[in-house]
Structure 1
């Protein structure tokens, strides 16, 4: 997958390990194949009981190798306690953005049943609106009032890469791959008319859904 456009810096801000891969694993891989530099910043290592988070960080780094993510960084925000640490989250995000000012930012849709997701979406949106050109929200499993206006339709190869990346998160027993792949292949159909779907190319496999908050397009030079 190649493109004539200039490579871009892409930053994905998530609350927990596997949030990025679950929401946009295919899109991540496509960015990498287009020569974009992709970084993920995870606000919490999401430690399990009796764990300091090292195991989940290792899972993230294994998934990063599969998808081609060039940087995977973490902040020590306590899991499920994001509402109590907004100041620390804001500071961590400004540090993450300063590492390499991104051209494109993806983060959680702020209206989410999971408070960590909601806070991440709100705080990342606030920082991105002053530090990045393009801002895109992705759909999390618990998103509410999410109306996508951008659909990334994958290929068998992209879907396989996403599935392989998610398989790295062995600590997350709730990731039922059969159910997950079925949702990836079908969920977008409630938003896209079947007459449009009929014109999809052969080999189209599922879709990841996004909502573009802001996109800045510059006129080409004569």
Structure 2
């Protein structure tokens, strides 16, 4: 089992960027944990609604744990020390093997600060670090494409539908982008060789991937077995 930690600035950031990948991790038995640095609303009532939406979406995607810090929206710049402290606490509650977070080049300052601070902590506390693309990322060139299935996309769509408070966001648009994503960066001759049930993609950029040399099983009882496969239903390579 791989321990997966996804750190985001706001509720719904993870589901928009990588809902299929989250669900696939859960389906193959990985422990998936999401930590939101912000509760996503300025009032206790609003924060509780956003929390309920996250928990409902997480239940559909197989998220084992959802946790929240209380960094106010749009105050991430002046609260970097607090963010760093919160991240070390989240990382040490359960040491992750793989960490996902925002791509550092982003128009949203909260996303940018989150990426910077997660990178600082993850390079000390985790093995692998991977950035996902958010709607506000720029200059994003993926080096990892997770290609899903109709079932994974349906699960993502159901999870996005849980965020009823976010009327300003068109979740159907994000779903459509998922369906088209791989065609932006993968040559059509490669796409022709995809499995028949390949459906949509989520894109990532690997910041660090650690691969251990093969050893006899008796010599490495503590190491996890990670077959190299991108196919839904099998374990992914270490950078995911």
TM-score by length of 1: 0.94
1:39-79 CA deviation, whole Å, 9 max, x = no partner?
A: 00000011067844110011001111101101100000011
Which of 40, 43, 46 is matched with 1:46 structurally? 40
| Partner residue in 2 for 1:3 | none
Which of 17, 22, 30 is matched with 1:23 structurally? 17
Unmatched 5+ residue regions in structure 1?
A: 1-6
- The 2-side partners of 1:179 and 1:22 are apart by 10
Query: Is 2:184 the counterpart of 1:190?
Result: yes
| Partner residue in 1 for 2:69 | 75
- The 2-side partners of 1:151 and 1:53 are apart by 33
CA change 1:188–1:94 in 2 (3 A) is same
TM-aligned CA deviation for residue 95 of structure 1:
0.2
Secondary structure in 2 matching 1:85: helix
- The 2-side partners of 1:88 and 1:181 are apart by 34
Report if aligned partners of 2:147, 2:182 keep a CA contact under 8 Å in 1: no
- The 2-side partners of 1:185 and 1:48 are apart by 33
State the Cα RMSD in Å. 1.2
| Partner residue in 2 for 1:140 | 134
TM-aligned CA deviation for residue 81 of structure 1:
1.1
- The 2-side partners of 1:55 and 1:67 are apart by 19
TM-score by length of 2: 0.87
Report if aligned partners of 2:143, 2:204 keep a CA contact under 8 Å in 1: yes
CA change 1:190–1:74 in 2 (3 A) is same
Aligned positions, number: 216
Alignment of 1:88-107 (within 5 A): 88-107=82-101
Which of 147, 151, 154 is matched with 2:148 structurally? 154
TM-aligned CA deviation for residue 174 of structure 1:
3.1
- The 2-side partners of 1:53 and 1:215 are apart by 35
1:141-194 CA deviation, whole Å, 9 max, x = no partner?
A: 000111100000000000000011111100011332432222111133121111
